[in-house]
């Protein structure tokens, strides 16, 4: 027999009754279910996208114009490790799939334009030329050292271009062919001598690797000196211009600042023997200053 009064029993029954859901609550529950289903679908799509092997890409980030991004940091991205994928391919994937604000230079993707030089796993490399499969993971991508960073992997190149222009990278022959369509001929031997020096793509990797350039802002640098070598050693160059060019490279911040560390030669993506060319121009400068009487 129950000891409760009828009034008490009525109160207990009313407390156990569930209130009816309002239209607002039902709408919120429906939105929550839709969001959960959408997130599950996205996760399933990502799982399908990364069925194969993946790797971690750590990318330097810096944006002085955006609040909260002024301090340098590294962002990590998971990218597929596919046969033939380059560092540039991985960066493009990270930009297109994860963060459209990721900023870096690139153009031809054939190691010709020189715009995508980065500091990859501690060495200057061309992004389009460097295979992901040949690198240790995680793959760490940074902007070129010893240059001011504009944003993320983009560095200021004006100083590098100014140094290249100082070497006067153009022909100035004494005589031109008489015929309008006649070629300015060059011997095969001379072409072979300067062939490697003509491969420079102005990427700036050598300048970035040079400790002398890092400490001497006026130093012409290996790329500019190589450009001077390319024209000075060309037999078609005018004699007066050759002398002017030699005077430019033998000044205080020219060839004599090179300490023969071979760092520029080691990182050149076009395999130009930069250090050898610098030493040869040193010999030319010495010969020009020798006097016999």
H or E element, residue 76: strand 73-80
pLDDT digits (tens, 9 = 90+) for 131-153: 999 999 999 999 999 999 999 99
Question: Is 27 domain-assigned?
Answer: no
Q: Is residue 198 part of a domain?
A: yes
> Is residue 36 in some structural domain?
no
291 pLDDT exceeds 80? no
Establish if 128 belongs to a structural domain: yes
Alpha carbons 262 and 269: distance in angstroms, whole number: 14
**Together in a domain, 111 and 143:** yes
Tell me if 240 is assigned to some domain.
yes
Q: In what order do the strands lie in the sheet with 73-80?
A: 73-80, 54-61, 139-142, 117-120, 123-126
pLDDT at position 10: 45
Do residues 192 and 113 share a domain? no
246 and 198 in one domain? yes
Task: Tell me the pLDDT of the chain averaged across its residues.
Answer: 87
pLDDT at 42 over 80: no
Q: Is residue 202 part of a domain?
A: yes
List the one residue out of 156, 153, 157, 158 whose CA is nearest residue 62.
Answer: 153
Q: Are residues 169 and 123 in the same domain?
A: no
Q: Are residues 272 and 191 in the same domain?
A: yes
Lowest mean pLDDT among 17-26, 91-100, 145-154: 17-26
196/254 same-domain check: yes
What is the model's pLDDT at position 103? 96
Q: Which domain holds residue 146?
A: 54-150
Q: Does residue 228 fall inside a structural domain?
A: yes
Is the entire prediction scored with pTM above 0.85?
A: no
The whole-number average pLDDT for the span 63-85 is 90
Same domain, 196 and 236: yes
What pLDDT score does 40 carry? 67
Q: In terms of domains, do 145 and 213 share one?
A: no
CATH number at residue 198: 1.10.1060.10
If you count DSSP H runs as helices and E runs as strands, how many of each does the chain have, helices first? 11, 7
pLDDT bucket at 266, cuts 50 / 70 / 90: very high
Position 47 pLDDT exceeds 70? no
Q: How does pLDDT run across 164-209, given as a tens digit for each residue?
A: 999 999 888 888 878 778 888 899 999 999 999 999 999 999 999 9
- Gap between the Cα atoms of 117 and 130, Å rounded: 10
Which pLDDT score, from 0 to 100, does residue 1 have?
41
- CATH number for position 93: 3.10.20.30
Average pLDDT for residues 33-47, to the nearest whole number? 67
Cβ atoms of residues 211 and 258 within 8 Å: no
């Amino acid at each position: 027999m129950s000891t409760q009064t009828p009034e008490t029993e009525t109160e207990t029954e009313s407390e156990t009754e569930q209130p009816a859901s309002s239209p607002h609550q039902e709408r919120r529950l429906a939105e929550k279910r839709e969001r959960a289903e959408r997130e599950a679908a996205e996760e399933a799509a990502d799982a399908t996208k990364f069925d194969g092997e993946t790797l971690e890409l750590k990318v330097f980030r810096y944006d002085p114009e955006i609040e909260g991004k002024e301090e340098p940091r590294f962002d990590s991205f998971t990218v597929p490790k596919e046969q033939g994928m380059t560092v540039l391919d991985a960066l493009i994937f990270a930009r297109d799939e994860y963060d459209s604000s990721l900023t870096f230079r690139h153009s031809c993707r054939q190691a010709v334009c020189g715009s995508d030089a980065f500091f990859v796993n501690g060495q200057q490399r061309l992004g389009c030329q460097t295979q992901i499969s040949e690198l240790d993971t995680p793959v760490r991508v940074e902007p070129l050292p010893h240059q001011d960073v504009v944003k993320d992997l983009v560095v200021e190149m004006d100083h590098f271009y100014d140094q290249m222009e100082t070497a006067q990278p153009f022909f100035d022959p004494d005589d031109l062919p008489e015929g309008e369509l006649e070629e300015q001929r060059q011997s095969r031997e001379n072409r072979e001598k300067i062939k490697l020096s003509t491969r420079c793509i102005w990427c700036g990797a050598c300048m970035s690797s040079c400790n002398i350039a890092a400490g001497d802002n006026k130093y012409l640098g290996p790329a500019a000196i190589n450009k001077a070598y390319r024209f000075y050693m060309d037999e078609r160059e005018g004699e007066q211009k050759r002398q002017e060019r030699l005077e430019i490279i033998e000044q205080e911040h020219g060839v004599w600042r090179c300490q023969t560390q071979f760092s520029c030669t080691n990182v050149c993506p076009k395999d130009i023997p930069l250090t050898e060319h610098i030493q040869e121009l040193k010999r030319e400068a010495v010969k020009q200053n020798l006097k016999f009487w």
